[in-house]
Amino acid sequence: MLAGKRILLIIGGGIAAYKSLDLIRRLRERGASVSPVMTRAAAEFVTPLSVSALAGEEVHRDLFDLTKEAEMGHINLSRVADLVVVAPATADLMAKMAQGHADDLASTLLMATDTPVMIAPAMNVRMWDHPATQRNLATLQGDGVRIVGPNEGDMACGEFGPGRMAEPLEIVAAIEQALAAGPLRGKKILVTSGPTHEPIDPVRYIANRSSGAQGTAIANALRDLGAEVIFVTGLAEAARPQGVQVIEVESARDMRQAVMDNLPVAAGVFAAAVADWRVASASDSKIKKTKGGLPVLEFAENPDILAEVSQMTQGRPGLVVGFAAETDDVVENATSKRQRKGCDWIVANDVSPETGIMGGSENAVVLISEDGAEAWPRMGKDAVARELARKIAEALA
């Protein structure tokens, strides 16, 4: 399934490097060719001879190898691959990537490449949980780096928890998925997701119960069909999708700005639960209790991002999909919402508390388009996302 594909495999210096030998074997079994690169530390764990014997290619290790510069410079090396895979990705390599260091061959290749990058992190549990690593992880996810693993389990250092490198076959599956020629390949799609937070003062805000689960599932499903996804999310509970560009925002106005900054796109899916109103003049300092009575909040209307994008005369996405969270007369209200906002499709759902949909794992939706209303059976949010992604691919074909 990987026939004809070239993987640039960067092996970092961790005990999990021994698994990279098996990874090379598995990739080659499937027809891929592997150009191996080892960091200096990696050579302390596995020998370059084993790596090159399994890869059937020379190992690249030195940034300043003049012969190789003449034959195939490091820039070229980073670009001939279909995918760059870093396995194991140590805490140090992740930090270098997040910060944009280029002080050895591996980090320079990662800076110079214009091909997609996937990392398989492997490190001690505490190092994985460390805020610095989690910050770097978020940065890398935001840059569109795909992450596979780490898994939870017993570790070579004797501790237990997340930090174990994904197994070679899991990495192979992720590579196959990343290289699959999906119908949305080459298409940029923007997805908004999660709640917005509207500040009252520096410590208080108004928000809603959206978990971001449906928007996240949609981003994952679009990515699986090959789309280049830009995921603009409020401060949502759901884990961020992987292998997509993540932009974190707080308020409706921040979300609008992030959306506008990232147009044009082939399609926009507006799954965020955007607050309709914000506090007109949020206080810069904490509002204190006073004997003078209760504070009065005045509201101002937020920009309607979906309506604004739908009604753009220039640079409008080819397909604009909105959501409607209704509690009564779902189809009727959503149909008129589609017309009022000017979007192409509305995915309407009944969010009455008894449905358990808001914040739950299932959804029962009606897709409203020019052709009328199409009710889908109640199913998991992942299944709804896959069906919607399939329809989007059909519409953009």
Catalytic residues, by residue number, are 157
d(CA 362, CA 368): 19
For the bound state, the minimum distance from the C-beta of residue 224 to ligand CTP, rounded and expressed in Å, comes to: 22
For the bound state, the minimum distance from the C-beta of residue 208 to ligand CTP, rounded and expressed in Å, comes to: 9
d(CA 325, CA 276): 13
Closest by Cα among 393, 3, 86, 7 to 226? 393
Asked whether the beta carbons of 185 and 178 are under 8 A apart, the reply is no
Determine the distance from the C-alpha atom of residue 10 to the mean position of all C-alpha atoms in its chain, rounded to a whole number: 22
Residue 286 three-state SS: coil
- Residue number, 112 or 307, with CB nearest to ligand CTP: 307
- Residue number, 127 or 331, with CB nearest to ligand CTP: 331
Closest by Cα among 158, 92, 146 to 115? 146
d(CA 23, CA 26): 5
For the bound state, the minimum distance from the C-beta of residue 394 to ligand CTP, rounded and expressed in Å, comes to: 20
Which residue bears the tokens 């082939």? 266
Q: Is residue 162 exposed (0-12), middle (13-18) or buried (19+ Cβ within 10 Å)?
A: middle
DSSP assignments along 89-107, one per residue: E-HHHHHHHHHT--SSHHH
For the bound state, the minimum distance from the C-beta of residue 254 to ligand CTP, rounded and expressed in Å, comes to: 12
- Residue number, 21 or 306, with CB nearest to ligand CTP: 306
Which residue bears the tokens 């974190």? 248
- Residue number, 28 or 253, with CB nearest to ligand CTP: 253
- Residue number, 53 or 280, with CB nearest to ligand CTP: 280
Residue 366 three-state SS: strand
Q: Which residues bind ligand CTP (CB under 6 A)?
A: 192, 252, 270, 272, 274, 276, 302-306, 322-325, 337
For the bound state, the minimum distance from the C-beta of residue 354 to ligand CTP, rounded and expressed in Å, comes to: 19
